[in-house]
Structure 1
Amino acid sequence: MLTVTAYYFNLFALPNIVVAVGLLCWGALLRWREAESTTGTWALGVAIAAATWQTGFALAYCSLTPPIALQWIRLSQVGVVFLAPTLYELLRRLLGLTGWRSRLSPWAWTASLGFLYVLLATNAYMGTPYLYWWGYYAHYRIGGMLLAAYLCAMMVYLFIECLRTWCLSPRGSTRRHRARILLLGFGVAFTAAIDFLAAWGVAVYPFGYLMVAFMVVTIGYAAWRYRIIAVTSRAAAEHVLKTLSDGVLVLDELGAIALANNRAALLLGFDHDALLGKTVDAVLPLRDVVLNPLRIQPPGPVHTEIELPIRNGDKRVINVTVNTMRDAGGGSPLTVLVLQDVTHYREATDKIRKLVYFDQATGLPNRRHLRDKLGQALKLSSQGQRVAVCGVRLKHFRHLADHHPSAHSSDTMLNGVAARLRSFAQSVPQGKVTVARLQSYEFAILFEQVDSVGKMTAELDRLHKALREPIAIGTRRLHPVLWLGVSLYPNDGNSIDALMDRAAAAVDQAAEAGDEQHIHFYNAEANTAALHSLMLGAKIARAIETDQLCLYFQPIINTDSGTIECAEALVRWHDPLHGLRLPSEFIPVAEQNALIIPLDQWVLKKACEHALQWQERPPSRGPKVAVNLSGAHLSSNGGRQIAETVQSILETSGLPGNRLELEITETRMVGTDQTIVDGLRRLRELGVRIAVDDFGTGYASLSYLHWFPLDKLKVDQSFVAAIGQDPTKTALLKSILLLASQLDLAVVAEGVETPHQAAFLLRHGCPFMQGHLLNKPLPADDFMQLTRNWHVPSEVRLGRKRAEGWDSEQRVVFRPGSG
């Protein structure tokens, strides 16, 4: 059918092609002109139907054989079938048909679909085409004859509707002019019936396409010349004002309400007519500066929020936007007030803020809130002004919770202490005190302005005495036992983390000393600890030089395939005197003694060497390797050094860049400049993947997820441990999983310890998991053996059973395979 040799050049086809192209262009132009209404859409539909009709016949004229001509004639008849309903839809809008006349659409479309079925699925519509001197032409059978009758009947009906509209419309009206043009178009179109003679065997050239084209053009002209809706700017403004979801008040120069919409009356609790003429002071508690348009400087909108009482005793929060306008003649300025009901938004915002910044059990501010307040206090502190953080730890709270799990004893103790802390904050002169709950049995007190350390100590002594008063729990009276430790700015540190950590260290010092009677201040002159740090730093330097370090690897499991996707490299130290040491024992000391970059480079080099061995082991490529990157290494030389170091190590080891992942902590993202981001981008160019470690524990803005070139988020294990224990953290974990999915970031859940946790993570689509439930960290040789004989632990299968509603026919969570 599409072979060129099946056709010949026929001059009789050219007029049809020209008409088809012209109709399509005209329809597209109308669609553009009437883009705001459906008129243009139906005009284009009519043009497409008529163009399909003419194109099919033109190609049939050029066909060399009857079968090919028959196919093109069938295509042309598809256009004829849909010409009737599209004409009706267009005329219904042009004439504004109402009542039963506007409900014929389903019948018209049903009839057309019936004819389409007969055309395409049966032989009752047409037979073998006639061959005339101008080419092949349709041979109608009973179906084709019925379609011709249906099309003529629809044309007659539409002509009658045009005539009726012309007769009933007032002289000179748009409807009358439009109907007159349509009558002309349909009157000429009736002569196109001559085309049906050739379909019944009469050899009369079918020039009806000219009449059809004339009809379509006249209908389009009617839509173009006399648009459906003539909207004035005033009518549009009045309609918008009535339907606007916000209230609008227009005040004259005296502050009286000259114009108001129904929404404004509803928000203010007045009848619409009663509202007009009132001064705005009578309905809104606004200040004069907002109401005087001449005092709004610079010119532009002014925003404020007010609370209005409503009948049930509640309050409605209204956002008021005030602006000025002048008429075209430069008369007195008018004031426009836009009233927006933001009550539900305010309530939702308050709830979210309470969830994010307040502890749900006690109602006290939480750690995040305290850190924000401390950061503000440090920014506002002037030279010589002090800020203090006091840590409070209950000694027997954990013991009480463990031994009375079914009672409300721990809650009573917790809320009793919280109430005394809250009362203390309210009683301190000048007020600038914030109390917060940090975790289960630890609190903190922030003094934003310390004029005298002696006075602050006296206040803390008063608090200490109040906190030690007995708390009634049922029939018993328990005496809280607690420790207090204080850090001072600038003596003990000049950052949020330093002051928080040293307040905790002061509490630890009090606990180690067993002193429950006094307040402990952080001891900044701990020479013993400093000397120990220096000596240990020297030993770490020797350990790096003499290869006393080794790597352990913990697998990261793909929850879809059950394979070992990656292995996190964890450094250990074989100390000749103390045996195997964990990172927590020497990493902080390495950071303090400028040894962290050499240590990072050693770990990176050894990890790449091991990963290359895994890759060379048949039959699989082996897992990737993930290496933690220290903040000092990341920021060195603006991020350039780490990119150069990684590239050098990859080239030396021969490991492809796409087999390496680098992990940076979320806290390291805060305050990062563009040069570090550029360094990470250079790493990405090498194929290295970038992951955020301990995600959710830092205070980085979500915008960092967009700014940084990231591939993966590693959710901190505190969120996993909170599954089933802490609803707030559980909700945040689900939000992190959803956010990562939306941003196309992979997620690794760290610290998976129980089947219940695994089931929860699987149920919420976590793609990767890591933790002791799956496998503990192993030496390199043992990890190599693990990858060869890897199978999914049975406990994980139990977790999947809970996640999917296990029965004996269901599969396990993972498809065990080689890592």
Structure 2
Amino acid sequence: MEATIAGLLQLGDPSNYAFSLYALPTALAAVAVLALGVLALVRERGATVSVTFFFMNLLAAVWLSSYSLVYSATTEQVALWWVKAAHLGVIFIPAAVYHFTVTALRIQPEHKTFVRLGWITSALFFLAMAPSDAFIARVRRYWWGFYPDYEWLSIPFLLFFFGMLAASLRHFWIEYHKAPPGTHKLRTKSLLVAFAIAYIGSIDYVAAFQIALYPFGYLPILGFIAMTARAIHRHRLVDVTPAYAARGIIEAMADALLVLDRDGMVRVVNPAACQLFGSSERQLLGQPIEALTSAISPTGRLGELIRSGSLRDHEVTLGTGEQVAILSVSSFLMHDEGDELAAVVVIARNVTRHKKAEEQVSRQREWQAALYEINGAITST
């Protein structure tokens, strides 16, 4: 523990670093690849494929930025620390690339087991690498700076690394050839070429086997960034499918939406529902509908009506005092292809303002009618 703390203190000591021109390209590539990941995340509004793309780019940024610090280090101990930090990114990149690939190609359901195995394998390699010398025993100084010496554990890792990357390229290749002409085919082709270019960056492994070949892997990464940025700009990462459109509509709805399974358990909620019930999505999911309506209908009658799918603009009151809200609740049944009940859709609209406006208009009319009668009585006398 003391050695670990001492090592961390050395990492923050400026005297252990010196300016290096060789650290600049990797630092630039790290910033660029991270910026591309953020751009995709924002542009695609947090869609699953953009999240996997961002995480993949984040790992690449960890790898590249850490090596900038390795090249700038002036002591072997500090360089070794940053080499192991870099491999936090390196070791998880194969799993992240494969996860992004199957997500982007919309084939994740049939490959989800392989995705899990990829992440588990990467985690096991990292756990074996971090505390021992079986993967990286030391660093060696070259003309561009320090670089690691790989040991025996690197061999099975490299087999895993190249196997996962080859599997990703194979998926892109198959999808490109079977996809009909259109945006999806063009995007798949662009990503296929971009990843093929990025994989040239694997040349950086050569120097880890004591061959003094300058690690120029940042150049293919910059090529990947250019190709992928072009693909995202032209074709986006997400097709506007019914499922994608439905998700955006659900999240943008002002009305509260809940989808129940056949047992009356909440399986889908939108942000408006979370706001209405004052709970997070995690708190609402898995709850029986009766638990949510108990404050409105202690007898459970409202829950039964909702599950029957027979409610149409049924008004109920939620809350007390100044916090009272008038809701208009409707429920609908959804059936599968076999005409079996699949889900119950519940929509709750807050009509409090509308009701208050109606009451105000009604009182105003009553007041005007009273004035009219008084005026009539006065003029008749």
Give the TM-score category using the shorter length: 0.5 to 0.7
Unmatched 5+ stretches in structure 1: 247-309, 311-315, 322-337, 342-819
Following TM superposition, by how much is the alpha carbon of 1:218 offset from its aligned partner in structure 2, in angstroms?
A: 3.3
Check conservation: 1:140, 1:200, Cα contact below 8 A: yes
Check conservation: 1:39, 1:223, Cα contact below 8 A: no
Q: Letter of the 1:340 partner, please give it.
A: S
Aligned equivalents of 1:100 and 1:5: distance in 2?
Answer: 52
Report whether the alignment pairs 1:165 with 2:175: yes
Structure 1 counterpart SS, 2:150: coil
Following TM superposition, by how much is the alpha carbon of 1:141 offset from its aligned partner in structure 2, in angstroms?
A: 0.7
Check conservation: 1:47, 1:216, Cα contact below 8 A: no
Q: Letter of the 1:106 partner, please give it.
A: R
Distance 1:213 1:119, change over 3 A: farther
Distance 1:317 1:87, change over 3 A: closer
2:313 is aligned, of 302, 319, 327, to 319
Aligned equivalents of 2:329 and 2:187: distance in 1?
Answer: 43
Following TM superposition, by how much is the alpha carbon of 1:98 offset from its aligned partner in structure 2, in angstroms?
A: 4.6
Partner in structure 2 of residue 53 of structure 1: 63
Report whether the alignment pairs 1:84 with 2:101: no
Deviations 1:369-397 (A, max 9, x none): xxxxxxxxxxxxxxxxxxxxxxxxxxxxx
Report whether the alignment pairs 1:125 with 2:135: yes
Structure 2 counterpart SS, 1:149: helix
Aligned equivalents of 1:38 and 1:210: distance in 2?
Answer: 28
Aligned equivalents of 1:13 and 1:318: distance in 2?
Answer: 66
Check conservation: 1:95, 1:165, Cα contact below 8 A: yes
Distance 1:202 1:34, change over 3 A: same
Following TM superposition, by how much is the alpha carbon of 1:192 offset from its aligned partner in structure 2, in angstroms?
A: 1.7
Structure 1 counterpart SS, 2:137: coil
Partner in structure 2 of residue 38 of structure 1: 48
Structure 2 counterpart SS, 1:52: helix
Aligned equivalents of 1:47 and 1:154: distance in 2?
Answer: 16
1:340 is aligned, of 326, 330, 337, to 330
Partner in structure 2 of residue 228 of structure 1: 238
Following TM superposition, by how much is the alpha carbon of 1:134 offset from its aligned partner in structure 2, in angstroms?
A: 0.4
2:213 is aligned, of 179, 191, 204, to 204
Report whether the alignment pairs 1:144 with 2:134: no
Check conservation: 2:98, 2:167, Cα contact below 8 A: no
Report whether the alignment pairs 1:189 with 2:198: yes
Distance 1:141 1:216, change over 3 A: farther
Aligned equivalents of 2:311 and 2:184: distance in 1?
Answer: 49
Q: Which residues in structure 2 correspond to 1:634-645 (within 5 Å)?
A: none
Aligned equivalents of 2:311 and 2:63: distance in 1?
Answer: 62
Aligned equivalents of 2:167 and 2:27: distance in 1?
Answer: 29
Relative to its length, the structure with more strand (as a share) is 1
Check conservation: 1:8, 1:64, Cα contact below 8 A: yes
Check conservation: 2:102, 2:171, Cα contact below 8 A: no
Q: Letter of the 2:330 partner, please give it.
A: Q
Q: Which has the higher contact order (CA 8 A, sep 6+)?
A: 2
Aligned equivalents of 1:317 and 1:181: distance in 2?
Answer: 50
Structure 2 counterpart SS, 1:41: helix
Check conservation: 2:44, 2:236, Cα contact below 8 A: no
Partner in structure 2 of residue 594 of structure 1: none
Structure 2 counterpart SS, 1:112: helix
Q: Letter of the 1:222 partner, please give it.
A: A
Following TM superposition, by how much is the alpha carbon of 1:20 offset from its aligned partner in structure 2, in angstroms?
A: 0.7
Aligned equivalents of 1:223 and 1:40: distance in 2?
Answer: 10
Partner in structure 1 of residue 375 of structure 2: none
Report whether the alignment pairs 1:94 with 2:104: yes
Structure 2 counterpart SS, 1:175: helix
Following TM superposition, by how much is the alpha carbon of 1:179 offset from its aligned partner in structure 2, in angstroms?
A: 1.3
Deviations 1:755-809 (A, max 9, x none): xxxxxxxxxxxxxxxxxxxxxxxxxxxxxxxxxxxxxxxxxxxxxxxxxxxxxxx
Aligned equivalents of 1:143 and 1:54: distance in 2?
Answer: 22
Following TM superposition, by how much is the alpha carbon of 1:231 offset from its aligned partner in structure 2, in angstroms?
A: 4.7
Following TM superposition, by how much is the alpha carbon of 1:162 offset from its aligned partner in structure 2, in angstroms?
A: 0.5
Distance 1:220 1:108, change over 3 A: farther
Structure 2 counterpart SS, 1:48: helix
Partner in structure 2 of residue 14 of structure 1: 24
Structure 1 counterpart SS, 2:313: strand
Q: Which residues in structure 2 correspond to 1:596-607 (within 5 Å)?
A: none
Partner in structure 2 of residue 24 of structure 1: 34
Q: Letter of the 1:109 partner, please give it.
A: W
Deviations 1:740-763 (A, max 9, x none): xxxxxxxxxxxxxxxxxxxxxxxx
1:175 is aligned, of 184, 187, 194, to 184
Structure 2 counterpart SS, 1:199: helix
Distance 1:227 1:18, change over 3 A: closer
Deviations 1:618-653 (A, max 9, x none): xxxxxxxxxxxxxxxxxxxxxxxxxxxxxxxxxxxx
Check conservation: 2:50, 2:237, Cα contact below 8 A: no
Following TM superposition, by how much is the alpha carbon of 1:91 offset from its aligned partner in structure 2, in angstroms?
A: 1.4
Deviations 1:456-509 (A, max 9, x none): xxxxxxxxxxxxxxxxxxxxxxxxxxxxxxxxxxxxxxxxxxxxxxxxxxxxxx
What is the number of residues matched between the two proteins? 253
Q: Letter of the 1:53 partner, please give it.
A: W
Check conservation: 2:49, 2:237, Cα contact below 8 A: no
Following TM superposition, by how much is the alpha carbon of 1:187 offset from its aligned partner in structure 2, in angstroms?
A: 1.9
Following TM superposition, by how much is the alpha carbon of 1:92 offset from its aligned partner in structure 2, in angstroms?
A: 1.5
Following TM superposition, by how much is the alpha carbon of 1:84 offset from its aligned partner in structure 2, in angstroms?
A: 1.3
Unmatched 5+ stretches in structure 2: 1-9, 258-303, 305-309, 316-327, 332-381
Aligned equivalents of 2:213 and 2:13: distance in 1?
Answer: 30
Q: Letter of the 1:20 partner, please give it.
A: A
Structure 2 counterpart SS, 1:130: strand
Following TM superposition, by how much is the alpha carbon of 1:193 offset from its aligned partner in structure 2, in angstroms?
A: 2.4
Partner in structure 1 of residue 357 of structure 2: none
Aligned equivalents of 2:108 and 2:126: distance in 1?
Answer: 28
Report whether the alignment pairs 1:113 with 2:139: no
Following TM superposition, by how much is the alpha carbon of 1:46 offset from its aligned partner in structure 2, in angstroms?
A: 1.2
Deviations 1:66-109 (A, max 9, x none): 11110010011111011111112211221111553243111001
Q: Letter of the 2:179 partner, please give it.
A: S
Q: CA RMSD in A?
A: 3.0
Following TM superposition, by how much is the alpha carbon of 1:36 offset from its aligned partner in structure 2, in angstroms?
A: 4.1
Check conservation: 2:311, 2:329, Cα contact below 8 A: no
Q: Which residues in structure 2 correspond to 1:630-779 (within 5 Å)?
A: none
Distance 1:88 1:232, change over 3 A: closer
Aligned equivalents of 2:48 and 2:311: distance in 1?
Answer: 40
Deviations 1:85-143 (A, max 9, x none): 11122112211115532431110011010111111121101121121000001111112
Relative to its length, the structure with more helix (as a share) is 2
Check conservation: 1:94, 1:223, Cα contact below 8 A: no
Q: Letter of the 1:209 partner, please give it.
A: Y
Aligned equivalents of 2:203 and 2:242: distance in 1?
Answer: 46
Check conservation: 1:26, 1:217, Cα contact below 8 A: no
Q: Letter of the 1:319 partner, please give it.
A: D
After superposing on structure 2, the runs of 4+ consecutive aligned residues of structure 1 that deviate more than 3 Å are 216-224, 316-321
Following TM superposition, by how much is the alpha carbon of 1:186 offset from its aligned partner in structure 2, in angstroms?
A: 2.0
Following TM superposition, by how much is the alpha carbon of 1:60 offset from its aligned partner in structure 2, in angstroms?
A: 0.8
Distance 1:68 1:170, change over 3 A: same
Distance 1:183 1:319, change over 3 A: closer
Aligned equivalents of 2:78 and 2:16: distance in 1?
Answer: 8
Deviations 1:533-556 (A, max 9, x none): xxxxxxxxxxxxxxxxxxxxxxxx
Aligned equivalents of 1:81 and 1:340: distance in 2?
Answer: 51
Structure 2 counterpart SS, 1:10: coil
Following TM superposition, by how much is the alpha carbon of 1:61 offset from its aligned partner in structure 2, in angstroms?
A: 0.8
Partner in structure 1 of residue 223 of structure 2: 214
